[in-house]
Amino acid sequence: MIMRGDGGVMEVSEMKKRPILTMLSGPAASVIGALMYLRASNGIYFEVGGTSTNIGVIKNGRPAVDYSIIGGHRTYVNSLDVRVLGVAGGSMVRAKKGGIIDVGPRSAHIANMEYACYHDPKEFEGAKLYYIRPRENDPDDYIAIKLNNGESTTITNTCAAVVLKILKPGDYALANAKYDAAYAGMKLLAEEVGMSVEDTARTILQKSCEKIVPVIESLIEKYKLEREQITLVGAGGGAGTLLTFTANMMHLKYQIPKNAEIISSIGVALAMVREMVERTVPNPTAKDIADIKKEARERAISSGAVPDSIEVYVEIDEQSQKVTAIAMGSTEVRTTDLMKNCDEQEAKKIAAEAMNIDSSNVVLEATNGQIFVVTAKLKSQRYKHVCVIDKKGFIKVQHSNGVVLKTTVEKAPNDLKQAWDEASNFSSEVRINPDAYVIVGSRLLDYSGIPELSQVSGLMVAEIADQKPDQPIILVMCHNEL
């Protein structure tokens, strides 16, 4: 199987037909690693390397996907919506007498230097600070240090994190770092810019994170993430260097998983087959949508997905009249995974952590033994926090304004309208419809991208037609704002 830029995998034969789909597969592998390995649901993915940082979004257990932009040009190739910034663990400092100018985009790796914090502290005795141009056309104000053994080194974000003791035991970036070496290098720069050693280190990290914060804010706005439920998920060898500082600046939770430095490899191993079908269909009927879903499912099977594992969700863009169906399924290898099954107590614990509330405030609203719907409601709220968790402990839906209704296949069409109306937003001149999800057996039918009740109802009836009339199902509606 070969990794694709949209976060899925495909067989080698398919890759030969469409090699362009592997574009940007590196960042995609990291996002999928965070998604599957951490069971992340809503958050900002944050991979910090030595030279660059990749930032992306995970919402409702799925990575955000958009058309790739290459060299400023928008393509028609879908990939994970990942932003790449020229600031990371090895970024070099630009300075002048009396102040720090900037951090990055050049790194110690590009300048062919080591980080100051990885040297023997004795090498800084009599060391001298000087300025360099890492590449021919670069500014000539990047900081370097000539050590007493004749070698050159440089100060990086990692050095600043070591000085401020941000890195924790076990952090990959801390492996061979020496505080005395980092301090000695930072002291030379502090004397040059007229600041204390600690303030110099803090300024370096602040300037780096000031580049990251606007990108995160733009992603929060674009994907309408609920701020109180966001977790910054760190990965890459330099995660501890910038993630902690950024999270504190933004007052957000953060998480760095075990094996963060090799999360990309884990992501490739755990990735699922992913196929997408797009069609322009004016005023699509339920049958039109069902046909497109079927085509996406068949493509996923041809790419190596096990039929019973495939889930398909649909997005409808009313302005462009475009219908998109995305099918995701497991490979034969992945269906034999050994992850333990989730029980009711664990589901409540996972939900409480995800919703950032005390576990005593959550209740198991509904379950069919295969999928759990956990809710919480504060006195001031009209709607409930809703968290839908599957048997493996993965969060499939998470929303702070939801309606849950238990019903049967026979009663589902009428109850769907009731729940739909209850979760609709009438606060503005235009009615804002909810996102709809239907739970039947082990399947979560995701209709969140379908805007009209008639489309959702028609599609739901078609997809549950093979079930017995008294088969229990669960309806989950998520209230939307402008």
Reduce the secondary structure of the chain to three states and give it as a string. Answer: CEECCCCEEECHHHHHHCHHHHCCHHHHHHHHHHHHHHCCCCEEEEEECCCCEEEEEEECCEECEEEEEECCEEEEEEEECCEEECCCCCEEEEEECCEEEEEEEEECCCCCCEEHHHCCHHHHCCCEEEEECCCCCCCCCEEEEECCCCCEEECEHHHHHHHCCCCCCCCHHHCCCCHHHHHHHHHHHHHHHCCCHHHHHHHHHHHHHHHHHHHHHHHHHHCCCCHHHCEEEEECCCHHHHHHHHHHHHCCEEECCCCHHHHHHHHHHHCEEEEEEEEECCCCCHHHHHHHHHHHHHHHHHCCCCHHHCEEEEEEECCCCEEEEEEEECCCCHHHCCCCCCCHHHHHHHHHHHHCCCHHHCEEEEECCCEEEEEECCCCCCCEEEEEEECCCCEEEEEEEEEEEEEECCCHHHHHHHHHHHHCECCCCCCECCEEEEEECCEEEECCECCCHHHHHHHHHHHCCCCCCCCEEEEEEECCCC
pLDDT score of 229: 77
Under-50 pLDDT residues of the chain = 335-336, 338
pLDDT score of 338: 42
The alpha carbon of 117 is separated from its chain's Cα centroid by a whole number of angstroms, namely: 30
pLDDT score of 340: 55
Q: Which two tokens stand for residue 145?
A: 């240090």
Angle (CA) 349-355-361 rounded to 5° is 60
Query: For 173, how many CA atoms within 13 A lie in the half-sphere containing its CB?
Result: 36
Angle (CA) 253-255-258 rounded to 5° is 170
Instruction: Determine the Cα–Cα distance for residues 55 and 225; give it in Å rounded to an integer.
Output: 15
Largest CA distance in the chain: 84
Instruction: Determine the Cα–Cα distance for residues 427 and 47; give it in Å rounded to an integer.
Output: 39
pLDDT score of 43: 82
Instruction: Determine the Cα–Cα distance for residues 325 and 130; give it in Å rounded to an integer.
Output: 57
pLDDT score of 39: 66
Contact residues for 350 (Cβ-Cβ < 8 A; gap 6+):
39, 342, 387, 389, 393, 395
pLDDT score of 13: 85
Model-wide pTM > 0.85: no
CATH number for the segment(s) 2-86+208-269:
3.30.420.260
Contact residues for 153 (Cβ-Cβ < 8 A; gap 6+):
108, 113, 114, 115, 116, 119, 144, 145, 147, 185
pLDDT score of 336: 46
CA-to-CA dists, residue 62 to 2, 46, 89, 199, 311, angstroms: 19, 15, 27, 40, 12
Instruction: Determine the Cα–Cα distance for residues 413 and 393; give it in Å rounded to an integer.
Output: 29
Instruction: Determine the Cα–Cα distance for residues 50 and 283; give it in Å rounded to an integer.
Output: 49
Q: Are residues 180 and 165 in contact, defined by beta-carbon separation less than 8 angstroms?
A: no
Write down the domain spans for the chain: 2-86+208-269, 91-200, 272-334, 340-478
